[in-house]
């Protein structure tokens, strides 16, 4: 009996196995291995299932600041930790390469030091103690068009930013504003490139002033900044000429009046007062300022591979941000900066500003380089009570023991050579000049 059961079970198993073997089987899908790609100067990998070349990059920066202090309330030291993550995607199409790039960084600062309480000019010291995310850039390039937020304004002479840790953009050290929103068209003409761009003007506002009375507020923005650029690049170096037009608008008394006196139920109250520095019926006129800048980079291979001389000069009227006059100070003094000052009749008086900056980059060895830089700047704004001039100088030494790793230190000296009368007489604790320094560890990958 038992033998019969085993025999029957064997027949069932064999017959079932034969039928299963006869069933069609699905072949395993081919493995799409990661493929390396290179489009232009970007190397990365092909996103599986697409024809897009993607580069993933990052940066980690640690900085340790020292600032000369003039009171026990000021921090002498500060620290910074910052991490970057970037994506760069390129796709070859029948219309050319479409590029999409974005980079975000998060910063954690401690030991905040602010201008006017011992912070030296020329040092962008921490802005807070929280870990704050920032969009460094995010743009699309298609053909000759660039749209989005770019890492550096088309107005800037970007090469100078490599000479010092801080670049320009402070206390008349030249324009180095950083990232900004733009829509630009660039024509490539061999060794010459020409760019015409509209850029966000609200980020370029530094302030409005009043010849007498209350300071007016900004009105709504109506026209973006218009920026033009010409670049010539050859084996000897680079030359650039840039220009910009900037709009300033003051809020009218009627606008401020309604905002202040609309009460419950939307009923407009009656008043004979006119805030914002203007007399009854006056409206601050819309003012248009402009800025021009020339930049020059000269390669110096006779001194060493990678050595270069950098020079740039900028002038602006009614557009102080473009010359690096954003309102920072030196020592304990922080002079105000105004693009435009209005009188009681609403007439605009535009400020004039200048900056001249130079630097030298020298490689002592392939892994050890030094930057030396100096700058002069002046700001004239509706009378000697607000005029200011400054000088600054600094140097750094950077060691790169391995590829994409920098370990460096920098010191900067800044001084107000002309102090606005509005800040006089100086008090016993006031100081016109100051020293600052920082140590940086930075790794790109």
Could you tell me which of 443, 338, 432, 437 has the C-alpha nearest to residue 395? Answer: 437
Mean pLDDT within 281-295: 85
Q: What is the pLDDT of residue 279?
A: 56
Other C-beta atoms closer than 10 Å to the C-beta of 313 total 18
What pLDDT shows up at residue 237? 95
pLDDT, one tens digit per residue, over 246-279 is: 999 887 654 444 444 444 444 444 443 444 455 5
Locate 20 and state its tokens: 């299963």
Q: Which pTM value belongs to this model?
A: 0.80
CA distances from 105 to 61, 83, 127, 204, 385 (A): 10, 5, 14, 22, 40
Band of pLDDT at residue 188, cut at 50, 70 and 90:
very high
CA distance 383 to 422: 10
pLDDT over threshold 90, residue 159: no
DSSP bridge partners of 411? 395, 437
- What pLDDT, on the 0 to 100 scale, is given for residue 103? 96
Give the model's pLDDT for residue 113: 46
Given pLDDT bands bounded at 50, 70 and 90, which one contains residue 124?
very low
> Tokens for 359?
């630097």
User: Taking the C-alpha atoms of 372, 243, 387 and 414 in order, what is their torsion angle to the nearest 10 degrees?
Assistant: -10
Q: What are the angstrom distances between the C-alpha of 177 and each of 142, 274, 286, 293, 377?
A: 25, 36, 24, 14, 16
In a domain, 21, yes or no: no
**How large is the average pLDDT for residues 178-198?**
94
pLDDT for res 197 = 97
More confident position, 141 or 4: 141
Average pLDDT over residues 274-294: 73
Residue 301 resides in a domain: yes
Task: Report phi then psi at 19, rounded to 5.
Answer: -65, -40
pLDDT at 246: 96
List the domain range (segments joined by +) for residue 329: 35-250+285-444
E strands, 157-266, where?
180-189, 192-199, 208-210, 225-234, 237-248
Does 116 or 402 have the greater pLDDT score?
402
16 occurs within a structural domain: no
Q: Is the pLDDT of residue 430 over 50?
A: yes
Predicted local distance difference test score (pLDDT) of residue 313: 93
- Share the mean pLDDT of the chain: 79
Domain with residue 61: its CATH number is 2.40.160.10
- The residue with tokens 């993933």 is 56
Buried b (16+ CB within 10 A) or exposed e, 364-402: eeeeebebebbbbbbbbbbeeebbbbbbbbbbbebebee
In a domain? residue 150: yes
Q: Across residues 85-90, what is the average pLDDT?
A: 96
Judged by average pLDDT, the poorest of 127-141, 285-299, 328-342 is: 328-342
> Between the CA atoms of 117, 120, 125 and 127, what dihedral angle is there, to the nearest 10 degrees?
30
Q: What is the pLDDT of residue 189?
A: 92
Whether residue 78 is contained in a domain is answered as yes
For 37-79, write each residue's pLDDT tens digit.
999 888 899 998 889 999 999 999 999 998 877 767 677 888 9
Question: Which H or E element spans position 112?
Answer: none
For residues 200 and 178, the model is more confident at 200
Q: Is residue 268 in a domain?
A: no
Total domains in the chain come to 1
* Structural contact between residues 306 and 363, judged by C-beta atoms closer than 8 angstroms: yes
pLDDT digits (tens, 9 = 90+) for 305-347: 999 999 999 999 999 989 988 766 676 667 778 888 888 777 8
- 25 lies in some domain: no
Q: Give the best-scoring range by mean pLDDT among 102-111, 335-344, 396-405.
A: 396-405
Q: In the chain, pLDDT over 70 holds for what percent of residues?
A: 71
Report the candidate in 244, 198, 215 with the shortest Cα–Cα distance to residue 337.
Answer: 215
The reported pLDDT for the residue numbered 272 is: 39
Whether 116 shows a pLDDT value over 50: the answer reads no
Cis? peptide before 425, omega within 30° of 0: yes
As a whole number of angstroms, the distance between CA 1 and CA 284 comes to 113
d(CA 197, CA 201): 12
Q: In whole angstroms, what is the distance from residue 306 CA to residue 369 CA? A: 9
Taking only the tens place, the pLDDT of each residue in 208-249 is 887 766 677 888 889 999 999 999 999 999 999 999 999 998
Calculate mean pLDDT across residues 98-102.
Answer: 96
Residue recorded with tokens 């801080």 = 166
User: What whole-number distance in Å separates Cα of residue 125 and Cα of residue 65?
Assistant: 8
pLDDT band at 145 (very low <50, low <70, confident <90, very high): very high
pLDDT for the residue 426 = 61
Whether 30 is in a domain gets the answer no
CA-based nearest residue to 342, from 278, 421, 246: 278
Q: Would strands 192-199 and 340-342 be described as parallel, antiparallel, or unpaired? A: unpaired
């Amino acid at each position: 009996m038992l033998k019969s059961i085993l025999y029957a079970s064997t027949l069932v198993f064999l017959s079932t196995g034969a039928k299963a073997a006869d069933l069609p089987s699905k072949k395993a899908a081919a493995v799409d291995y990661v493929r390396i790609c290179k489009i232009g100067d970007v190397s990365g990998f092909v996103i599986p299932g697409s024809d897009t070349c993607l580069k993933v990059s990052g940066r980690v920066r640690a900085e340790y600041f020292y600032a000369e202090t003039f009171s026990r309330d000021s921090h002498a030291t500060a620290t910074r930790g910052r991490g970057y993550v970037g994506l760069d995607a390129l796709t070859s199409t029948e219309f050319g390469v479409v590029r999409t790039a974005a980079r975000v960084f998060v910063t954690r600062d401690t030991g905040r030091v602010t201008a006017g309480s011992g912070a030296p000019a020329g040092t962008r010291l921490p802005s807070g103690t929280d870990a704050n995310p920032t969009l460094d850039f995010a743009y699309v390039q298609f053909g000759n068009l660039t749209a989005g937020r770019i890492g550096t304004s088309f107005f800037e002479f970007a090469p100078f930013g490599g000479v010092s840790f801080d670049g320009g953009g402070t206390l008349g050290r030249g324009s180095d504003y950083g990232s900004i929103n733009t829509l630009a068209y660039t024509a490539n003409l061999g060794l010459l490139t020409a760019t015409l761009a509209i850029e966000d003007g609200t980020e370029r506002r530094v302030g409005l002033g009043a010849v007498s009375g209350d300071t007016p507020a900004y009105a709504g923005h109506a026209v973006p900044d218009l920026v033009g650029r010409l670049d010539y690049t050859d084996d000897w170096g680079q030359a650039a000429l840039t220009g910009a037009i900037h709009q300033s608008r003051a809020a009218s008394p009627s606008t401020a009046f309604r905002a202040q006196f609309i009460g419950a139920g939307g009923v407009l109250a009656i008043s004979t007062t006119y805030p914002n520095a203007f007399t009854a019926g006056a409206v601050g006129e819309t003012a248009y300022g402009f800025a021009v800048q020339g930049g020059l980079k000269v390669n110096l291979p006779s001194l060493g591979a990678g050595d270069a001389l950098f020079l740039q000069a900028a002038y602006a009227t009614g557009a102080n941000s473009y010359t690096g006059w954003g309102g920072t100070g030196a020592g304990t003094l922080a002079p105000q900066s105004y693009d435009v000052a209005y009188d009681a009749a609403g007439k605009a008086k535009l400020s004039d500003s200048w900056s001249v900056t130079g630097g030298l980059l020298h490689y002592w060895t392939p892994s050890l380089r030094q930057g030396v830089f100096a700058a002069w700047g002046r700001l004239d704004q509706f009378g000697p009570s607000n005029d200011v001039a400054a000088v600054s100088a600094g140097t750094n030494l950077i060691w790169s023991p391995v590829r994409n790793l920098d370990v460096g230190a920098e010191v900067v000296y800044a001084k107000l050579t002309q102090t606005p009368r509005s800040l006089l007489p100086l008090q016993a604790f006031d100081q016109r000049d100051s020293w600052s320094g920082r140590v940086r560890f930075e790794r790109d990958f």
